[in-house]
């Protein structure tokens, strides 16, 4: 089912040479995404679209950012990003706000994706 979330900001980069490995990792989570007769770029794009993200490409064909076009946080969305985390450039992130006003961020360290929960501090 999921709960409502909004993308606040992002800095996301995946080099084109990582697409095939990312797609192979992602298909372990998103088994139902069709791949027949498609380029690896299109297969990976379809996976991002399946979890409500639109990839933005630069002139060299790298993914230079993502735009969340959905409205719900789904378990398989997080599982997908955990699966492809190794293929996302270090220091990439996607930041969200949930309907509960909680903020959280998915941070990529070049090997894994880690979820960090924001907190409000009053001084």
**Banded model confidence at residue 60, pLDDT cuts 50, 70, 90:** very high
User: Average pLDDT, whole number, for the chain?
Assistant: 91
Q: How many domains is the chain partitioned into structurally? A: 1
- For residue 20, is pLDDT > 80? yes
Top-confidence residue, 27 or 2: 27
Contact indicator for 81, 73 with CB cutoff of 8 Å:
no
pTM: 0.89
Does residue 122 sit within a domain?
A: no
Query: Higher-confidence residue: 123 or 7?
Result: 7
Above 90 in pLDDT, residue 38? no
What is residue 32's predicted lDDT score, i.e. its pLDDT? 81
The per-residue pLDDT for 1 is 54
Establish if 123 belongs to a structural domain. Answer: no
Domain assignment of residue 39, given as a range: 3-117
In whole angstroms, give the CA distance from residue 104 to residue 84: 19
């Amino acid at each position: 089912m999921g709960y409502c979330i909004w993308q606040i900001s992002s800095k996301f980069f995946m080099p084109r040479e990582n697409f095939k490995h990312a797609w192979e990792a992602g298909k372990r989570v998103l088994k139902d995404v069709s791949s027949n007769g498609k380029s690896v770029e299109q297969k990976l794009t379809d996976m991002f679209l399946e979890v409500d993200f639109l990839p933005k490409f630069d002139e060299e064909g790298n993914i230079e950012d993502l735009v969340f076009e959905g409205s719900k946080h789904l378990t398989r969305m997080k599982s997908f990003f955990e699966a492809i985390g190794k293929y996302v450039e270090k220091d990439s992130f996607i930041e969200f706000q949930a309907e509960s006003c909680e903020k959280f961020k998915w941070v990529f360290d070049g090997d894994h994706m880690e979820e960090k929960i924001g907190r409000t501090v009053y001084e």
